[in-house]
Amino acid sequence: EAGVTQSPTHLIKTRGQQATLRCSPISGHTSVYWYQQALGLGLQFLLWYDEGEERNRGNFPPRFSGRQFPNYSSELNVNALELEDSALYLCASSSQGQRGTEAFFGQGTRLTVV
Partner 1 sequence: SQQGEEDPQALSIQEGENATMNCSYKTSINNLQWYRQNSGRGLVHLILIRSNEREKHSGRLRVTLDTSKKSSSLLITASRAADTASYFCATVPGTASKLTFGTGTRLQVTL
Residue 35 near partner 1 by CB under 8 A: yes
CA dihedral for 10, 25, 34, 19, sign (positive or negative): positive
Residue 60 near partner 1 by CB under 8 A: no
Residue 26 near partner 1 by CB under 8 A: no
Contacting partner 1 (CB under 8 A), which of 45, 60, 65, 86? 45
31 neighbors 48 (Cβ within 8 angstroms)? yes
Residue 41 near partner 1 by CB under 8 A: yes
Contacting partner 1 (CB under 8 A), which of 10, 14, 42, 62? 42
* Closest separation in Å from C-beta 100 to partner 1: 6
